A and B are shown apart, each in its own frame.
Chain A
Amino acid sequence: MLTAFAILIDGLVYAAYLFIVAIGLTLIFGVMKILNVAHGSFYTFGAYGAASAVGIYFDRGLPEAGGFLLMALVAMALGLVLGLVLERGIMWLVYGRDEVVMVLVTYAAFLILEDVVILVWGTGSYATYQPLLAAGNIEVGELTLSNYDLGLIMAAALLAVASYGALKYTRYGRLLTAVIFDRETAAAFGINVRVVYTVTFVIGAMLGALGGAIMAPKIAVTLGIGVEVIVLAFAVVAIGGMGSIEGALVGALIVGICRAAAVHLLPQLELFVIYGVMALVLLIRPYGLFVRVQPRKI
């Protein structure tokens, strides 16, 4: 019973993390049909930015609540700049090319940005424990849970509701939905697809950076975190169906719970289970759980 509860909580925490990282990826894919490898860089920049900003902030002994706000703001600012630079500087050159070519362009950007990280932050690692300490712990039955983890779950839930609401009930969300369904028809109805692309890419980048910032206190911020996270996010998005936000949510839950179960019951299978589940889902639903079947072109 205790194990089941622990699996549930751990799974939810991990799922929250995965969802925050994957939502930006799936948004960009849905609108622009780009599988963005550089999402890993957004995450890395967000994590490094938040870690160094928080380090400076808490050293000054300023009020703790501001630290959380600062983390988010720094990450979003970095995401904004990076997203704009990438989209305006590189991506627009290859719009209309093959989907796979666009993946490779983002891969090139990812490689370049990996070294930009080294140039800016060096090769050392950053520990950002202060927010975790500031949040404190809570006792639930026999388990000690970190408030930060519970906040993470709430943040992910909030993000899910907000993005769903924004897509369904705001003007921009409706425009975005139109572009997702059919780019050409949307353009024919007077939607400026070019602007929609830029805004989407920047929002996706900000979400990726935010994911990094939120995770920074829970991990050692060091080289190579982007490499790991991108392939995890791919798994989540592929399970849910690429481009689907509810898919990302369900995919994150499935992967999160399965991984937590593996960690508690059979630790050898920790990594295997994530991609095993991905392969299994794709076996049954080739295009993921939440994707409309596309007609074959003749």
Chain B
Amino acid sequence: MAGQGRIVAGSSLVAAAAAAALVLPGWVISLATIAFANGLVVLGLIVLWRAGLVSFGQALYYCIGAYAVALVGRWTGLTDALVLVLMGGAAAALVAFGVGFLLARYREIFFAMLSLALSMILYGLLVKTESLGSTDGFAVIVPTFFGYAPHQRELLLALYWLVLAVCSLAALLVGAYFRSVGGALAIPLRDNEIRVEFLGMSVSRLIHTKLVISGLLGGMGGALAAMAVGHVDPNMSYWTTSGEFVFITILSGAGSVVPAFIGSLVFESVRSFAFAVLPQLWQMLLGSVLLLTILFLPQGLGSLIARMRWRRNTEAP
């Protein structure tokens, strides 16, 4: 019953978000497009977070997804947005699978540091690769949608709807994963992984799976962001980008799936607002928000929703 209610609530939320685009001005739509694309990356971080792992190098997958789209577009002339997103996700998932053999052995701060190192390796390579535009990066082709090649506002809308569709599907699947055995074991894994091994589960395989999922989501997020921005550059792999994703994860809270996108939207709005109104002070504003979230809302925005639901349930007769 609760599951049915959740699906109804979720689909009406998505429908409302999709319909709202028809009346909203262009800059709001592009802001939301980027925010939701980044929300995918945050969703990947949440998958890891629930198992007690914090990656300070999620920008690695983000950047690989973005560069995969840009390079495939450049070399093959392929422009279909959905195919490109899937390719970006697949490329990042492949990399995550590879480095997963290494990363799955690490925990806590060491996991964070090694993932940071890996993303910085990619940054170092991209910065020095002049055929890929070095620090300037290069432009991404204009995407098409199943043969439909929109321009300007239509393009904005089409991309936004694609992002919404990909995000909803991802949210649905990740939600299902959280309720599966492998996903449910994340919390015992965080508390005490030796006991999980005593249950007869392979801890390293569980974590490896989570890494691949988060890599896939990160890659798709990067691919969508690349198409939305129309440009890729090595900064997508820099540690500050990873820091922002961890920031949004803290803001959202790791309790469930939807807050990842709400948190990302809030973050992107705060950043745009701060950048427009206080160009010299926007980092200070972001830092203060982060600090206040950690101090007063340690479970993130998601916990507000849970708290509201709990209050409603207790008030009901």
Q: Does A81 contact B (CB under 8 A)?
A: no
Q: Does B102 contact A (CB under 8 A)?
A: yes
Measured between beta carbons, the chain A residues less than 8 angstroms from B206 are: none
Q: Does B205 contact A (CB under 8 A)?
A: no
> By the criterion CB–CB under 8 Å, are B240 and A104 in contact?
no
Q: Which of B110, B250, B290, B294 contacts A94 (CB 8 A)?
A: B294
Chain B nearest CB, measured from A107 CB (Å): 6
Q: Which of A143-151, A201-209, A281-289 contacts B (4 or more CB under 8 A)?
A: A281-289
> By the criterion CB–CB under 8 Å, are B284 and A115 in contact?
yes
Chain B nearest CB, measured from A67 CB (Å): 31
Measured between beta carbons, the chain A residues less than 8 angstroms from B287 are: 107-112, 114-115
Measured between beta carbons, the chain A residues less than 8 angstroms from B288 are: 108, 112
Give the CA-CA distance A105 to B118 in the complex, in Å: 23
Which residues from 241 to 277 on chain A have a C-beta closer than 8 Å to any C-beta of chain B?
242, 267-276
Chain B nearest CB, measured from A113 CB (Å): 8
Q: Does B105 contact A (CB under 8 A)?
A: yes
Measured between beta carbons, the chain A residues less than 8 angstroms from B121 are: 272, 275-276, 279
Contact of A279 with B290 at beta-carbon distance under 8 Å, contacts A35-B109, A231-B239 already known = no
Give the CA-CA distance A269 to B128 in the complex, in Å: 7
Give the CA-CA distance A112 to B283 in the complex, in Å: 6
Chain A nearest CB, measured from B295 CB (Å): 6
Q: Does A90 contact B (CB under 8 A)?
A: yes
Give the CA-CA distance A107 to B116 in the complex, in Å: 14
Chain B nearest CB, measured from A292 CB (Å): 14
Q: Does A12 contact B (CB under 8 A)?
A: no
> By the criterion CB–CB under 8 Å, are A279 and B110 in contact?
no
What count of chain A residues pass the 8 Å CB interface test?
Answer: 47
> By the criterion CB–CB under 8 Å, are B128 and A238 in contact?
no
Measured between beta carbons, the chain A residues less than 8 angstroms from B112 are: 35, 100, 103
Chain B nearest CB, measured from A174 CB (Å): 26
Q: Does B232 contact A (CB under 8 A)?
A: no
Encode B193-207 as 1/0 by CB contact (under 8 A) with A: 011000000000000
Measured between beta carbons, the chain B residues less than 8 angstroms from A273 are: 124
Q: Does B281 contact A (CB under 8 A)?
A: yes
What count of chain B residues pass the 8 Å CB interface test?
Answer: 43
Q: Does B114 contact A (CB under 8 A)?
A: yes
> By the criterion CB–CB under 8 Å, are B194 and A296 in contact?
yes
Q: Does B123 contact A (CB under 8 A)?
A: yes
> By the criterion CB–CB under 8 Å, are A105 and B284 in contact?
no
Q: Which residue of A lies closest to B193 (CB)?
A: A296
Measured between beta carbons, the chain B residues less than 8 angstroms from A134 are: none
Among B106, B117, B123, B288: residue with most chain A CB under 10 A: B117
Give the CA-CA distance A273 to B284 in the complex, in Å: 33
> By the criterion CB–CB under 8 Å, are B124 and A112 in contact?
no
Q: Does A64 contact B (CB under 8 A)?
A: no
Q: Which of A107, A116, A238, A267 contacts B284 (CB 8 A)?
A: A116
Give the CA-CA distance A104 to B248 in the complex, in Å: 11
Encode B276-291 as 1/0 by CB contact (under 8 A) with A: 0000111110111011
Measured between beta carbons, the chain B residues less than 8 angstroms from A99 are: 108-109
- What are 14 A-B contacts defined by CB distance under 8 Å? A103-B112, A107-B243, A107-B287, A111-B286, A111-B290, A112-B288, A115-B287, A231-B116, A235-B117, A271-B123, A272-B125, A279-B117, A282-B113, A286-B105
A-side interface residues toward B, CB under 8 Å?
A: 35, 90, 93-94, 99-101, 103-105, 107-112, 114-116, 118-119, 123, 227, 231, 234-235, 238, 242, 267-276, 278-279, 282-283, 286-287, 296-298
**List of 10 A-B pairs having minimum Cβ-Cβ separation, nearest first:** A271-B124, A111-B287, A112-B287, A115-B284, A272-B124, A108-B290, A108-B291, A275-B120, A108-B287, A268-B128
